[in-house]
Amino acid sequence: MDLQTELDLGNQCYINKNYEQAIIHYDKLLAVYSDNFIICHNKGLSLLKLDRFDEAIPYLQLAMNNGYAESWLAYGSILRTKGSYKEAMTAFANAFLLENENSAAYSNYGNSLREFGKPNIAIPFFQLATQLNPSDMTARLNLSVAHLMNGDLLNGWKYYDARWFYESDISFKPILSGIEYDGTQDIKDKIVFVYVEQGLGDCVQFGRYLTLLQNQGAHIVFLCRKPLARFFRYNYPNIKIYIETESDLTNLQYHYHVPLMELPKCFNTTIDTIPSVNYSVGDDIINYWHKRLGPTNKKRIGIVWSSNRNNFITRFKNINLETLLKLKSDNIELISLEYDVSPEQTKLLQDNGVIVYGNELGDFYSVAGLMKNLDLVISIDTATVHLSASIGVHTWTLLSDYACDWRWFINRDDSPFYSLMKLYRQKGNDWDGLIEHVKKDLKILDK
């Protein structure tokens, strides 16, 4: 057996994301070269890509025992995914101790610090990573997010373009003809095509910049996600709004184009110059939900305990439903603002007197109409809090201790994006303690 040929075949399968086939090639090699730590590392990586973490660890450890820094990096990623954060940081540190010019090791170590809410300490590691490898877009994005989280928005926006390349071989930024707006051009009487990116909450949060473009005399065409289309059409009747995936933009005419979340950079936004927002919805939808809810003498509070997004970070943000239901009291009527509620959760909610609408909630315009009938919304970090706070509903946002989003910054219980939002920060992964804090504030609110 020719080692190099078989190794090349396995590596090519890995590059093509055919990880199962790559493992077959590596196993052939390991049957002959069982102590070859490079082959062990490659098989470990393939198993990691298939989420077979426990199987991957022994192969990575053999390479780690041979001082292979890349295996320490992969092992750190497994530990991070499994929730062993401090051990993951040790693994990343071992990687840069073995290879002191390994940019990914510094970037991963810094990212762990940032996820622990230490952006100040993390920034030098990101800076070193980008100096060592200017093309490392992951490190560049991590640096951007650390600055943003630290409240240094100008430096954060400077590097935020790296989001287009994050964990991708090529940019996923759409290729559009014409000139991209960068904040320097005169756009009076010009057509500016703005298109959405990232999540629904991001769209609500940064939609406020459409007003700033209008104030400069621009005519705006906005590419919006379907659940938000009616909401934005109501709030921006003078803007031409298209729905993403449902609109033919082949013959769209414009002078400039710009992604929505690039606009804060275009307007040189600092934490003190974030534009205010005051969205609204029509009396028709407010009255519809008023009739559906019926009369009550209790305070009505909307709740959200989980995010529909399925990624690594989500599981830290979600709160156990039983824990959140500790908020119930004789003076409160809880309304679920969750869309996807399982039959088991529905029964639990109804057994606890919670009103459940589920898929009846409809699009964001409809949900906003329901929210305008509430006294308060209490939710984890999801699109719900952006919607409720942006339409003038008091909102209490429950934030996880680990992996808190940069949008909430650090060491503050208010948000410069929303005047009616209060932030509740978890400490030591303790949701129960946080809910007890919220319950005390609810009692004060009830007086």
pLDDT at 2 (0 to 100): 74
Residue 80: pLDDT above 70?
yes
User: Are 348 and 306 found together in one domain?
Assistant: yes
Which pLDDT score is estimated for 309? Answer: 64
Residues 101 and 183 in one domain: no
**Cα 46 from chain centre:** 26
Q: What is the pLDDT of residue 247?
A: 87
Let me know whether 104 and 192 are in one domain: no
Predicted pLDDT at 185: 98
219: number of Cβ within 10 Å: 17
The yes-or-no verdict on residue 329 having pLDDT over 70 is: yes
Domain boundary among 102, 129, 164: 164
- Specify the pLDDT at position 447: 62
The chain-wide mean pLDDT, for the chain, equals 93
Note whether residue 205 is domain-resident: yes
End of a domain among 134, 164, 194? 164
Task: Write the CB contacts of 117 (distance below 8 Å, at least 6 apart in sequence).
Answer: 401, 404, 410
Q: Are residues 189 and 151 both part of a single domain?
A: no
- The reply to whether 390 and 328 lie within a common domain is yes
Domain that holds residue 84: 3-164
Is 169 part of any domain? no
CA distance 354 to 54: 41
Domain count, the chain: 3
- Choosing from 137, 164, 191, the residue where a domain stops is 164
Residue 385 predicted with pLDDT over 90:
yes
CATH number, domain of 115, equals 1.25.40.10
- Weakest mean pLDDT among 16-25, 110-119, 171-180, 210-219: 171-180
| Per-residue pLDDT tens digits for 345-372 | 999 999 999 999 998 999 999 999 999 9
pLDDT of res. 409: 96
- pLDDT band for position 245 (cuts 50, 70, 90): confident
pLDDT confidence tier of residue 8, bands split at 50, 70 and 90: confident
Per-residue pLDDT, 408: 96
| Reported confidence tier of residue 335, pLDDT bands at 50, 70, 90 | very high
Contact 420, 395 (CB under 8 A): yes
User: pLDDT-based confidence at 4, cuts 50/70/90?
Assistant: confident
Q: What average pLDDT does this structure show over 377-394?
A: 97
93 located within any domain? yes
Q: What's the pLDDT at 93? A: 97
- Tell me the per-residue pLDDT of 399-418, one tens digit each, with 9 for 90 and over: 998 888 999 999 999 999 99
CATH number at residue 295: 3.40.50.2000
Residue 276 lies in a domain: no
What is the pLDDT at residue 298? 93
- Mark whether 52 and 157 lie in a shared domain: yes
User: Average pLDDT of 82-108?
Assistant: 93
Q: According to the model, what pLDDT value does residue 85 have?
A: 84
Task: Give the distance, in angstroms, between the CA of residue 52 and the centroid of all CA atoms in the same chain.
Answer: 25
How many other C-beta atoms lie within 10 A of the C-beta of residue 348? 16
Q: Are residues 343 and 425 in the same domain?
A: yes
**Amino acid letter, residue 175:** I
pLDDT grade for 84, boundaries at 50, 70 and 90: confident
* Residue among 399, 424, 406 nearest 118 (CA): 406
347 lies in the same domain as 261: no
Average pLDDT over residues 132-136: 94
At 355 the pLDDT is 96
Confidence of residue 312 (pLDDT cuts 50, 70, 90): low
Any domain includes 174: no
With helix as H, strand as E and coil as C, how does the chain read? CCHHHHHHHHHHHHHCCCHHHHHHHHHHHHCCCCCCHHHHHHHHHHHHHCCCHHHHHHHHHHHHHCCCHHHHHHHHHHHHHHCCHHHHHHHHHHHHHHCCCCHHHHHHHHHHHHHCCCHHHHHHHHHHHHHHCCCCHHHHHHHHHHHHHCCCHHHHHHHHHHHHCCCCCCCCCCCCCCEECCCCCCCCCCEEEEECCCCHHHHHHHCCHHHHHHHCCCEEEEEECHHHHHHHHHHCCCCEEEECCCCCCCCCCCCEEEEHHHHHHHCCCCCCCCCCCCCCCCHHHHHHHHHHHCCCCCEEEEEECCCCCCCCCHHHHCCCHHHHHHHCCCCEEEEECCCCCCHHHHHHHHHCCCEECHHHHCCHHHHHHHHCCCCEEEEECCHHHHHHHHCCCCEEEEECCCCCCHHHCCCCCEECCEEEEEEEECCCCCHHHHHHHHHHHHHHHCC
Predicted local confidence at residue 171, as pLDDT: 53
What integer is the mean pLDDT of 273-294?
96
